[in-house]
Structure 1
Amino acid sequence: MDALEAPSSTGELYAVNADGTGDGIIFGYRMGSQGATHIAKGTSQLAFATLVDPLRDDPRRALIAIYPANGASLGNMRTMSANGVFPTVARIDLFSGVTMQVTTSPMRNASFMTDHHGVVRFAYGVDADQSGKVWYRAGDGKEWQLVFDEAKEHRRASPLAFNRAEDKVYFSCGGAHGVGGVCLWDVATQALSPLWSGTVSGVEELVSSFDDNDSFAIRSMPDRVATTLLGKNTPEATLLVGLMQQFPGEDVRITSSTPDGKKVVFFVQSDRDPGQFFLYDGAAHKATFLFARRPWIKPEQMAATEPIALKARDGLALHGYLTRPAGHEEAKNLPLVVFVHGGPYYVRDRWEFDPYVQMLASRGYAVLQVNYRGSGNYGEDFVSKGFREWGGKMQDDVTDATQWAIAQGVADPKRICIFGGSYGGYAALEGAVKEPDLYRCAIGYVGVYDLRLMHTRGDVPQSVFGENYLKKVLGEDDSVLWDRSPIAHLDRLKAKVMLVVGGQDTRVPPVQGESMRSALNKAHIEHDWLYQRTEGHGFYDEKNLADLFEKVGAFLDRNIGVQAAMK
């Protein structure tokens, strides 16, 4: 079997001293096989582990969550966990790798949250019935209590952090407008009260104080990043406001600090800048550049991304982004690429640097992104409006956004292509057959083309979680699934097609792309085909990505670029 280009996690944990010495694996299947290392006593475990709490007051230990593989191979440990493993929390010795169990989750596949003393107090997540649940316990040795059950209460909430006094807990919640917010959960009364409500979208991040014992700000992204201060006179807020003033128009985020706030690492990014890390010295009141992500990128040469808002045909408010080529920010009648995000549920396009968007803009194309119904961070109701709407209202939202770009004069109606990966690949080909006169070309990147195969092929239907998910979001009527599959309606196709497939894709296996290719050949429809046998669900290798970008660019140039405009 060919190797996969993208590295994948095997659930192992690795520890290293701050000075770079003493490094080694402290948890996982390779424990005890490292040779000369400071790790000497831990035993091998076929399990997947994540960090729960670093226990900042205990330099030797941390809390981890362990998801046993139950005899599964390394390649499908996550799947086995999804099939019903009740994870445990253990205290691990960072020097020996020895673990000691602390508690077991009352629900499958849970995540955990501790209080400020390192006591596990919450277990939460989405259960096999696809409803969110939150379990609480008052302390070590106490019984677990179910405090939120979406299946019964028809609302979803999840814990974020304790406040300093530990008498209240910050929760993500629906908020006053139903699009998301932050609530306070009273530990004594178990009552939930609103603290902050989004007007367009919900909470992105609750920002911790320097000592991690409270929160001082809420980050959201209604269009660009917005920061709401909970305590304006705190040292953290004062520093953050000062940094934001030093980097106007950019997203400034504190990523880590010493407990006293004398040393703070912060990150600055934007739509044109992949991001830079800085170290702030509180004593010297000075910020020093550390390093940049993608340092070869020159932000001044990149294209700006602007937020947009529109109404779908049924009146639903939609939001998204429009990027025009650098130097052509006010240009009209441009060739347009409608770039559809994957997921599709609980995922959204964001105001940030996107290499695919910048690649397209650098070649002279305007790029339109829309957060269609089903996208995340606009509230549970917005997500549920997308259930069983593959090829239906979700697709109509993409169409309506395309028509909006035409009506605004941004797009040349004769030079529009639709492009996307995963669900976006489905939407690209479905858009081409559902709206044959709207798109000149369509690019399906690791996409789904026969919805019936979603129930039988790939890693999603291999777990009870995945099976229930597909029943909820797709339905089980094969006739409906076939009718909403682009492969079923190639007789309507007018657009030129490009298919991109990863040979090692387990999420959307190659059979999806291969079946579409076969159907196109049978219908005598010429198309571009790019298959990389060692890539998975999205290309990872730099050479393969460069090849993808070049071939996508050439395909667009032939169909909606300058060459196409002259025909």
Structure 2
Amino acid sequence: MRKKMGLCGAVLALGWAGVAQADEAGGATLAEKFGAREGIEAMSLSPDGSHVAMIVPMVRGQRVLIADLVAGGAPKGIFAVEGYNKTGNAISRLRRCQWSTDTRLVCSIYVQTFAGGILNGFTRLAAMDSDGGNAKILSAQENGRDLYVANYGGRVIDWTGDKPGEVLMTRQFVPQATINTRLAKSDEGLGVESIHTVTLQRHTVEAAKRNAADYISDGLGRVRVMGLMKEIPGGYSSGVIDYFYRKADGDVWRDLGRLDQSDGNLATGFDPQAVDPALDVVYGFEAQGNGRTALVRIKLDDTAMRETVLSRDDVDVDSLVTIGRQHRVVGASFATERRQVEFFDPELRKLGAALQRALPGNPSISFVDASADEKRLLLFAGSDVDPGMFYLYDKTAHKLEQILASRPDLAGLTLSPMRPVRYLAADGTEIPAYLTLPAAGTGKDLPAIVMPHGGPASRDEWGFDWLVQYFASRGYAVLQPNYRGSAGYGADWYQKNGFQSWRAAIGDIDDAGRWLVSQGIAAPGKLAVFGWSYGGYAALQSVATEPGLFKAIVAVAPVTDLDRLRADANGYTNGVLVDRFIGHGEHVESGSPARHAASIAAPVLLFHGDVDANVGVSQSRLMAETLREAGKGVDYTEFAGLDHYLEDSQARAVMLAKSDAFIRKALGLAP
């Protein structure tokens, strides 16, 4: 198989040079190389398998490119968003672009506006021809009589309509004022429409329901599952969704189950994900008696028979693997030391194993998209030391071809292997983690960084990480602990979440630093902590259990005061859930680092985007202010027009370079 690998035409490969961000000869620093955004942010395959659509970065913005996999040639730009609009005080992001026909695309656009101190997010779907022409908004257009503006622009839940180009799409119906008209509409809530992506002809498939929260189709044009949100006063989300199903030949909705996330933490009950029309089942996730999440399927007939498809005693089964335009369920995945896929489809199981053996470095492989007949497969392969490559596999020709690299800026650089380790916490609990050492050297007596992940309802996994690889390239050992409070290891490990159970989470993070020293990996006095989002919170809060352990603290977009985080959610639909997630009690005071700035002995470096909708910029501003008032060393960089993820190559390069210089100075290292 390896001998059959090749480029999809040399012209296509050469054409990419004009798309990737320029790397001035000998002038790009490591920070610029690692900080550069992914060269390919998303990719999809046309139904006939002849073209791919790609979302690629521009300076502060993004473009959609179309590449012809048959004729070759340079990819052609057809559409762009500018990113930050300073005049309009808004940011725009392309989230995905998929094909409705061989010549028509549907793109999801997220727009965030900032006015009067309020951040508002909007989604809209747009359709356009593959040459960029005939662009139209698919989302329902606003009417002057609408009583409010719909933030949610809907999503495509089924790409197989009655006619080519038709899709099923959710719609947020908005009631209209009745004054001086007999034509006002009273429909309100989430419904489903069939829409032709060229003509925009639309008709209602599922009438709006005020408390509807979810619809799932069978991939054949029929809605089979519906979720209704339990209502609470004030318009807030309750976190409780009652699901219903209908039989293949019926219209009556029947009880399927309840999903309950009312405390803002781990969900209980059945969480449906996809319908398999051939088996007449719905797949979903559900916590088992051992506290681990398993994949379950339920028959959509009179029996409603329930079957556990895949479960584990050590970790959660947390991801469904689907393929093609009908999102055919072909497997499920879970992460132990490395993410693994259990394929239900025998052909894909065999193919995935063969491709993994054929490609260098035993990479992880994921199937990204497929042609309508599933004879051409778009896949992505990458590893800890390989940022990844997109490939096209032709089943008929048994041929695997490279398309494009995910991060061309890192070509030629030697990356550092990430290996799973376990260390003991103070109470004897074994904590899973990932250790990355510089590619050269003995791996001993190094400056070291503990890097807690964000979330906290998340976890680190084996694979390429641009932050980790940058610091390893600069000579640091990096340890990523999956501390208690992380997701993926069941309810007992998650505890009450990383805020309410901050002592366990932060204790594990501090124990990670102590372990690095005890193993001789970190030189005494050469420890730093770096975190983003909750990880930034953890970096700042680490002083609560071990004030002198870390000699430098870097926090990107951190939570610094829990009551302020609660207040920031007021007025949004998730306000009640955020309140319950944070909880009330002593931990709010003791677990808010901005209230304990005087106890922070190490210098602090802060970064934040000023239009962050996840963690308000006021959190970092407050932390910087309290540190200065306490006479502590703090350096704060605020990026205008950037959100929580700092999706800008220049800003990321600045963040990396400043962090490295800051840590080196604090640890007494040479520049």
Please give the TM-score of this superposition, normalised by the length of structure 2: 0.72
Stretch moving more, 310-319 or 335-344: 310-319
Q: CA deviation at 1:310?
A: 3.7
Whole-angstrom distance in 2 between the partners of 1:525 and 1:207: 49
Residues 154/451 of structure 1: CA separation in 2 closer, same or farther (3 Å cut): closer
| 1:26-37 map, 5 Å | 26-28=137-139
Query: Quick one: which of 104, 114, 135 aligns to 2:217?
Result: 114
One-letter identity of the residue aligned with 2:637: L
Alignment check: 8 A CA contact 2:259 2:271 kept: no
Instruction: Give 2:352's aligned residue.
Output: 240
| C-alpha RMSD over aligned residues | 3.1
Query: Quick one: which of 206, 219, 226 aligns to 1:123?
Result: 226
Q: CA deviation at 1:304?
A: 1.4
Query: Quick one: which of 269, 281, 302 aligns to 2:382?
Result: 269
Residues 363/191 of structure 1: CA separation in 2 closer, same or farther (3 Å cut): same
- Is 1:526 equivalent to 2:633 in the alignment? yes
One-letter identity of the residue aligned with 1:207: V
Q: Deviations over 1:222-266 (max 9, x none)?
A: 1212122324xx333332222111125211111122243321111
| 1:302-313 map, 5 Å | 302-313=415-426
Alignment check: 8 A CA contact 1:52 1:113 kept: yes
Q: CA deviation at 1:45?
A: 7.3
- Is 1:372 equivalent to 2:483 in the alignment? yes
Whole-angstrom distance in 1 between the partners of 2:523 and 2:240: 44
Alignment check: 8 A CA contact 1:175 1:182 kept: no
Query: Quick one: which of 243, 257, 263 aligns to 1:134?
Result: 243
Question: What SS does structure 1 have at the residue aligned with 2:408?
Answer: coil
| 1:411-422 map, 5 Å | 411-422=522-533
Whole-angstrom distance in 1 between the partners of 2:322 and 2:151: 34
Question: What SS does structure 2 have at the residue aligned with 1:16?
Answer: strand
| 1:399-438 map, 5 Å | 399-438=510-549
Stretch moving more, 306-315 or 549-558: 306-315
- Is 1:97 equivalent to 2:200 in the alignment? yes
Instruction: Give 1:338's aligned residue.
Output: 450
| 1:69-468 map, 5 Å | 86-104=189-207, 108=211, 110-124=213-227, 128-131=237-240, 133-138=242-247, 141-143=251-253, 145-150=255-260, 155-163=268-276, 165-175=278-288, 177-188=290-301, 189-208=303-322, 212=326, 214-231=328-345, 234-247=346-359, 248-298=361-411, 301-314=414-427, 316-328=429-441, 331-345=443-457, 347-386=458-497, 388-389=499-500, 391-457=502-568, 460-465=569-574, 467-468=575-576
One-letter identity of the residue aligned with 1:95: V
- Is 1:508 equivalent to 2:615 in the alignment? yes
One-letter identity of the residue aligned with 2:168: L
Query: Quick one: which of 170, 184, 191 aligns to 1:65?
Result: 170
Residues 12/553 of structure 1: CA separation in 2 closer, same or farther (3 Å cut): same
Question: What SS does structure 2 have at the residue aligned with 1:275?
Answer: strand
Q: CA deviation at 1:315?
A: 5.3
Instruction: Give 2:106's aligned residue.
Output: none
- Is 1:474 equivalent to 2:577 in the alignment? no
Residues 211/224 of structure 1: CA separation in 2 closer, same or farther (3 Å cut): same
Residues 310/425 of structure 1: CA separation in 2 closer, same or farther (3 Å cut): same
Whole-angstrom distance in 2 between the partners of 1:57 and 1:468: 41
One-letter identity of the residue aligned with 2:452: V
Alignment check: 8 A CA contact 2:449 2:527 kept: yes
Residues 409/239 of structure 1: CA separation in 2 closer, same or farther (3 Å cut): same
Q: CA deviation at 1:54?
A: 0.8
Identity %: 26
Whole-angstrom distance in 1 between the partners of 2:192 and 2:488: 29
Whole-angstrom distance in 1 between the partners of 2:439 and 2:175: 53
Tell me: higher relative CO, structure 1 or 2? Use CA pairs within 8 A at least 6 residues apart.
Answer: 2
Alignment check: 8 A CA contact 2:244 2:253 kept: no
Whole-angstrom distance in 2 between the partners of 1:29 and 1:119: 21
Residues 404/174 of structure 1: CA separation in 2 closer, same or farther (3 Å cut): farther
Alignment check: 8 A CA contact 1:255 1:267 kept: yes
Residues 393/4 of structure 1: CA separation in 2 closer, same or farther (3 Å cut): farther
Residues 373/46 of structure 1: CA separation in 2 closer, same or farther (3 Å cut): closer
Alignment check: 8 A CA contact 2:499 2:591 kept: no
Instruction: Give 1:12's aligned residue.
Output: 124
Structure number with higher strand proportion: 2
Q: Deviations over 1:292-317 (max 9, x none)?
A: 11212137511211122345445555
Whole-angstrom distance in 2 between the partners of 1:317 and 1:58: 56
Instruction: Give 1:494's aligned residue.
Output: 601
Question: What SS does structure 1 have at the residue aligned with 2:320?
Answer: strand
Instruction: Give 1:547's aligned residue.
Output: 654
Q: CA deviation at 1:376?
A: 2.4
Whole-angstrom distance in 1 between the partners of 2:508 and 2:208: 40
Alignment check: 8 A CA contact 2:294 2:318 kept: no
Whole-angstrom distance in 2 between the partners of 1:51 and 1:88: 12
Alignment check: 8 A CA contact 1:336 1:366 kept: yes
Question: What SS does structure 2 have at the residue aligned with 1:562?
Answer: coil
Alignment check: 8 A CA contact 2:323 2:369 kept: no
Residues 555/511 of structure 1: CA separation in 2 closer, same or farther (3 Å cut): same
Whole-angstrom distance in 2 between the partners of 1:124 and 1:16: 31
Alignment check: 8 A CA contact 2:296 2:306 kept: yes
Whole-angstrom distance in 2 between the partners of 1:322 and 1:5: 36
Whole-angstrom distance in 1 between the partners of 2:138 and 2:382: 34
Q: CA deviation at 1:433?
A: 4.0
One-letter identity of the residue aligned with 2:397: A
Q: CA deviation at 1:480?
A: 3.9
Alignment check: 8 A CA contact 1:55 1:118 kept: yes
Instruction: Give 1:79's aligned residue.
Output: none
Alignment check: 8 A CA contact 1:11 1:50 kept: no
Alignment check: 8 A CA contact 1:6 1:541 kept: no
Instruction: Give 1:74's aligned residue.
Output: none
Stretch moving more, 113-122 or 201-210: 201-210
Residues 310/130 of structure 1: CA separation in 2 closer, same or farther (3 Å cut): farther
Question: What SS does structure 2 have at the residue aligned with 1:274?
Answer: strand
Please give the TM-score of this superposition, normalised by the length of structure 1: 0.85
Q: CA deviation at 1:516?
A: 1.8
Question: What SS does structure 2 have at the residue aligned with 1:269?
Answer: strand
One-letter identity of the residue aligned with 1:405: L
Instruction: Give 1:38's aligned residue.
Output: none
Question: What SS does structure 2 have at the residue aligned with 1:394?
Answer: helix
One-letter identity of the residue aligned with 1:219: S
Instruction: Give 2:48's aligned residue.
Output: none
Residues 241/561 of structure 1: CA separation in 2 closer, same or farther (3 Å cut): farther
Whole-angstrom distance in 1 between the partners of 2:379 and 2:651: 32
One-letter identity of the residue aligned with 1:542: S
Alignment check: 8 A CA contact 2:539 2:555 kept: yes
What is the count of residue pairs matched by the alignment?
531
Whole-angstrom distance in 2 between the partners of 1:554 and 1:431: 21
Alignment check: 8 A CA contact 2:487 2:494 kept: yes
Alignment check: 8 A CA contact 2:212 2:226 kept: no
